[in-house]
Each structure stands twice: as C-alpha cells, then as structure tokens.
Amino acid sequence: MEKEFDFVIIGSGLGGLYSAALLSKEGYSVIVLEKNRQLGGCLQIFSRDKVIFDTGVHYLGGLDKGQNLYRYFDYLGLMDVIKFRKLDVDGFDQIIFGDDPTSYKVPQGYDNFINYYAGLFPLERAGIELFCEKMQEVCRKLPLYNVEVTQDLDFMQFVLSDKPVDEVIASCVQDPLLRRLLAGNNALYAGIPGVTPFYVHALVVNSYIESSYKCEKGGAQISLALSKIIRQNGGVIRAHAKVEKIETNEEKATCVVLQSGEKIHGKKFISAIHPTVTLSLLGEDCKMIRKAYKSRINGLKNSVSAFIVYVVLKEKTLPAFNHNKYYVKCNDAWNNEIYTEEEWPKSVAIFTTPSNDPDYCAGLIIMSYMQYDDVKQWEDSFNTVAHEDERAVSYQEFKKQKAEKVLDLASEQFPGLRDQMKSYYTSTPLTMRDYIGGEGGSLYGIIKDHRDPLKTLIPPQTRVPNLFLTGQNTVMHGVLGVIVGAVKTCNEIIGDNYLITKIKETTLDKEVVNEHKN
C-alpha cells in the first residue's frame, strides 16, 4: 500500500523547509517536494572560480540573542550549527546618491540610528525619534513577529488604516535629503511611492536596525541545516520532484501528481510556492476554489525582478568591507524600477561574498531592478542545471550589454573595478523564474498595496480544507518574514496556539538557562 504522509509540502524554499522542520519535530510524517536539483529557493548558492555566491539571502536581521529571528532559529537548533558574521554596527548599509559624494550610514541599534541621523540633521531629532517609534509600534502589533501568541486583530486594524511609507516618512521629517535617506535602502522590499504600506517598511527595516548579520558560508547553510533536521525526524526530501497537479475529490485534496506520473498521498498539503502557481496545480475541475477567488489571486501584481552581476575578483585586489552599498545614481530613493532603456540602471545594490581572506573581498554581487518585460521575448526558454537549454544568442548578447552598464555604474563606487575582476556571471528575471519559481522572476512576491490592503494579504487557509499556503506571499518576504509566515501556517493547522506557545516558552527557558550559566 502507498504511504500517506501527514503533510505533503510543495517547494523547498525557506517557508517549505521551516514548516517541514517544525512539523517533523512534532512527530508528523512529512515529505518535501522540490522541482530543482538544489534545495532552498532563495537560499540557494552557486560557485564560480571557487567563489561562493548567494542568490537571494545577502544579509539577515534580528539575530542578536533574544531577538525574533534568533529565537526562531534557536528553537530548531540552527544557531548552534550556522556561522554568522555581524555587519558593521555603525553602518550595516551605506547609501550614496549620485549628486552627493557622501556615504551615509545606516547604524544598528535605535539609539545609534537616532544619534547618527540627528547628528547630521540636528533640527530633525524629534522627527527621527517619531519615525523610529512608529516603526517599533507597528512591529509590536504583529504577535508572531515578536514570538508571541497570535491575536492578529490589532495588526489587521492597523493595516486597514495604514498609510504609504513615503507619506509617513514625509509626515515625520521635513528635510528632503533626510527623507531620501530614511527610504534609501527600500530595495529591501522594492518600495513603490503611494502604494507600499508603511508596515512593510517597518517590519523589514526594523529587524536590520536591531541587528544585521551575514551567513559566513552562504545562505545554503540554512537550508542544509533545516534539511538535516527534517531527515533526522524521519521526514523525506525529494529533489527533481516537480508537482504537476494537486488532485482533489469533492471534499479535499487527496494527492499530488509528479511530472513522472507518480502520486504522493497526504492528509494535509502545504504549498510553499506562489499562490497563482498553486491554483494552476488544482486545475479547472476543482469546484472548491471559486472563480472570484481565482480572479483575485491571478490579478494581483508581482514585485519587480532583478538583473544581477556576480563578480569574481582577483586575489588581494579589493580591500574587505563589512557593509552593503546602495548607490542611487538618479538621486531619487523611489521609482528606480521605472526606467527607459537609456537611463537603466538607475541604481545598484552591492553585497560581498563569503571570503577566506578577512582582509580582501573574494567577489561582489551587484543587483539592479529589471522588469520582466525586458526579457519577455525569451520567456519560452527554460534553463537550469538540471534541465540545460542554452538560450538564444540574442539573449546572451542582451546579458552582456546589460552587464557592462551595471559594471559602469558600480565602478563609480569602486574605481578600477574592471582591473580587479577575474570574471563575471549574470542572472536575469528568467533565471529567477526558472530557479526560484516566482511569477515573472519577482523578487518579493505579490506587491502589498495600502489602497486595497485586504486584497494583498493572503491567508494560509485555502478553500480546499486541507490545503494551506506559506512562503513570502502569506505574511512578508525575507528570511524573517517567511519564517513568521511558516509559523503562522503551522500554528493555524495544529490549532490552539500550541506551536507558538511552545516556541515562545522553549526559547525563553533557554535564555534563562544561558543567563544563569553566564
């Protein structure tokens, strides 16, 4: 007889893996199905010329002892097996505008943050303090963000009355440069003026201000550690297992059908992939999903994608630096995803790669926004390591031309960069689509819109009673946001706030024990 799993999880991104680790820890039988060879979604890494490159997780927030991500990681023992490096306390990010040679810092710690900006803009201290208090107030309203038993009513009420982030910034401070600086690293969430709700900025940026870290050996260390936990608890993980269909009867989902034709049966199903892809797997014959719901989900807009240049540096050429750089050539902190061909790229975000030499960089990751329409002419092609299919010559030429433009802009911050380069590699929205699975290669999933907030909040429970959603589209994107989403999904499935209560009490008990030891 075929085995029926307690949980069949579609997609091995962070949301799928963390959900599987939580549920397997509770004794449930789980199977994780991944279409690609490598697990992890945006946690994936690759190596070129012996240099490791992250595809998505360039840094993490909230990892100081007792903070939210630390506690969610520590609950599963991840803090004991993954090596993290703290970024510069006085400036984990640096923001540079094209009309100003100054590298402005984004410090860790709210006191540090306020004092730095108040030192630059002394007349704006009260407004800077107000802005920080507004961010912290939002974060206090989302219980799972604080590893608290979930009562989402306060947060939902806030979301319904939330303002766009640019409007909130403008209401707090008056200086035009300061307004730009407070929004200067909004590439963390692809903010859109007049659209992106303030809570998105608050939940994302707050965690980095509290503390900012990098994975010393790349983000794949997280997926490897979670995979080990799942297998140790008896769970099954299968790569090269693309789900083609979710079969249902009149009452529930019964199994998934793989590309090979194999069927995997389950009691409950969690989809950690994009909601529109999930709906397509159900097919037109599933009567439990109403047409209005399908239209709503399929009609939601996805965030912009990116063109990325991965630079391998010659040994001992570029001195190491312990921060990230956001260079906005166009001087506007917003609208960098809107461009003409002539003015692209308007900005770049620059991150370092893991390096064995503490004094020098091994490589750089240089990212700029790119719309999916720029590569739409090649969208019928598909290319991954597992399914190689060389794209057209015109596509290769397109990548080369775009890479040169990105390197030109990055060289304005790193003079002589081309002389320091050993080689470079590129990815486009098609790469993101093929490897990660997001619609149009979207960086951060569905765009949150303050003008219609409920429409863009996707609940974990679907109309199919035993089919649930998780991933960056349920609560928030990013490592912390996806983990909060996974906990929310699993907590709702198990019920009675059992799971979040256990996580809260376990991590608090560990902190008390550690304090006594110290």
Q: Using one digit for the tens of pLDDT, what is the confidence trace for 215-241?
A: 999 999 999 999 999 999 999 999 999
Average pLDDT over residues 300-308: 94
Residues of the chain with pLDDT > 70: what percent? 96
Hey, which residues does 367 pair with through a beta bridge?
A: 308, 349
Residues in the chain, how many? Answer: 518
Assign domain 4-46+59-84+216-300+446-517 to its CATH architecture: 3-Layer(bba) Sandwich (3.50)
Q: What is the pLDDT of residues 132-143, one digit of tens each?
A: 999 999 999 889
- The pLDDT tens digits of the residues spanning 382-416 come to 777 666 667 889 999 999 999 999 999 999 999 99
Would you say 270 and 65 are in contact if contact means Cβ atoms under 8 Å apart? Answer: no
Residue appearing with tokens 């307004």: 179
pLDDT of 305 above 80: yes
Q: Is the pLDDT of residue 2 over 70?
A: no
- Residue 239 and residue 319: Cα distance in Å, rounded? 39
Cα angle for residues 232, 238, 241 (degrees, 5° grid): 165
pLDDT at 349 over 80: yes
Position 513 scores a pLDDT of 64
Distance CA 353, CA 54 (A): 7
Residues 16-48 have pLDDT tens digits of: 999 999 999 999 999 999 998 889 888 889 999
Q: What is the biggest distance separating any 2 CA atoms in the chain, rounded to whole angstroms?
A: 73
**439 pLDDT more than 90:** no
Cβ proximity of 218 and 54 under 8 Å: yes
Closest CA to 62 of 208, 199, 185, 219: 208
Q: What is the rounded distance in angstroms from the CA atom of residue 179 to the CA atom of residue 173? A: 7
Q: Which residues contact 468 (CB under 8 A, 6 or more apart)?
A: 268, 269, 270, 271, 460, 461, 462, 489, 492, 493
Look at residue 1 and tell me whether its pLDDT is greater than 50: no
Q: Looking at residue 386, what is its pLDDT?
A: 60
